[in-house]
Amino acid sequence: MILFLFLGKPFLQILGLDVKSFAVGGSIVIFLLGLEMVLGHEIFKGDKNAHSGAVVPIAFPIIAGSGTLTTIMSLKANFDEFYIAMGILVNLVIVFAVLKSLNYIERLLGPGGLLAVRKFFGVILLAIAVKIFSSNVGALKK
């Protein structure tokens, strides 16, 4: 994420993409993840190759996926890179703490609580996806 903070725009330019296109694509992925969480249907199928999980951890596309990278690019328009980098580091510490305590959280909430939290955050993801999509899709009508 920090690497993308500093090299994201030049990388997108090499690929011939702009931030708005990246944001729309990221919003579609976030929308599908939200639908998956709310509806309980698997949209993104896991790779059958067991070795691929060792190369790219399962949580990586969600933690540092296109939605996160789009957000980082959007924040650069309004905030200094130092503050964004500090926010990323704080976020990573929080994500690490949550991932390390998942067993405890699972026991605490129980199956019903986990399902409720999953559906709640699925709706939040859907709302974020719609917001990102609606604020960027207009720029694609060129």
Tokens 């059958």 map to which residue?
A: 48
pLDDT of res. 46: 61
Total count of domains within the chain: 1
- Domain extent at residue 72: 2-140
pLDDT of res. 68: 76
| Torsion angle defined by CA atoms of residues 128, 62, 123 and 136, in that order, rounded to the nearest 10 degrees | 20
User: Does 98 have pLDDT greater than 50?
Assistant: yes
- Residue 116 binned pLDDT confidence (cut-offs 50, 70, 90): very high
User: In this structure, which amino acid lies at residue 114?
Assistant: L
CA separation for the pair 129, 23 (Å, rounded): 9
- Residue 23 binned pLDDT confidence (cut-offs 50, 70, 90): confident
Q: Tens digits of per-residue pLDDT, 27-83?
A: 888 888 889 889 988 876 665 655 544 444 445 556 666 667 777 877 776 788 899
State phi, psi for 139 to the nearest 5 degrees: -75, -10
CA separation for the pair 2, 8 (Å, rounded): 9
Burial label, 21 (beta-carbon count in 10 A; 0-12, 13-18, 19+): middle
What separation in angstroms does the CA of 88 have from each of 1, 75, 84, 102?
A: 7, 11, 6, 21
